Amino acid sequence: MGFWKSLFSTTDTTTSPKPAELNSSTASAVTIGNSRIFFSTDREIDLYELEELCDAVGWSRRPLRKVKKAIQHSFLVVSMWEQRGTQRRLVGFSRATSDHAFNATIWDVVVHPDFQGKGLGKALMRQMIKRLRSEDISNITLFADPHVIDFYRGLGFMPDPEGIKGMFWYPD
């Protein structure tokens, strides 16, 4: 069970869940068709597999040595895997950085296009939030691309609460 370091002990894969069940914060594994979907906090991620996942949603490539470092230094990594027989495939990913006390910021939220629209993005985010809350982190932030603001809003994230603006500095 080393690889599948599940976040929760309940595992019910006997029936195909409705989207509402996928959204449950207690689900650690779900079944979609012939596939079983698992969540893991094990950060032994094949960087090439992660790159393929990011390619599939059209993200720009990043140097793998930097991605590796970012994962190593993240506070939390939650990955989502499809298991078919003995084969497993990375189908979702997210990570958070943190000061380990007050704040965490979520990065790199991605679900493979084959698995989008099934409630899995929401389930992945709920795993992230639950895990961060269990570490007593109270302030969870993220940077949303304009086309996904409503996705995050549905999870309780607020854009610009009390007029607070995210500010960025880039080198010239």
Binding footprint of ligand COA on the chain (CB under 6 A): 57, 109-111, 116-122, 144-145, 147-148, 150-151, 154
* Cβ at position 50, least distance to ligand COA in Å: 13
Sheet holding 35-40, edge to edge: 29-32, 35-40, 76-84, 87-98, 103-111, 139-142
128 contacts 76 by C-beta, under 8 angstroms: yes
Tell me whether residue 41 or residue 105 sits nearer to ligand COA (CB atom). Answer: 105
User: C-beta of 112: minimal distance to ligand COA in Å?
Assistant: 8
- Considering the candidates 38, 81, 115, 152, report the single residue annotated as catalytic: 152
Of 48 and 59, which CB lies nearer to ligand COA in the complex structure? 59
Which of 98/121 has CB closer to ligand COA? 121
152 an active-site residue?
yes
Please list, in sequence order, all residues whose beta carbon lies within 8 angstroms of the beta carbon of residue 20, skipping any fewer than 6 positions away: 119
Beta carbon of residue 138, minimum distance to ligand COA (angstroms, whole number):
22
Which of 100/107 has CB closer to ligand COA?
107
Q: How far is the CB of 98 from ligand COA (least distance, A)?
A: 18
- Beta pairing partners, 111: 92
DSSP 8-state assignment for residue 114: G
Neighbours of 6 (CB within 10 A): 15
For 136-170, give the DSSP string: T--EEEE---GGGHHHHHTTT--SSGGG-------
The Cα 121–Cα 129 span in angstroms is 12
Catalytic residues: 152
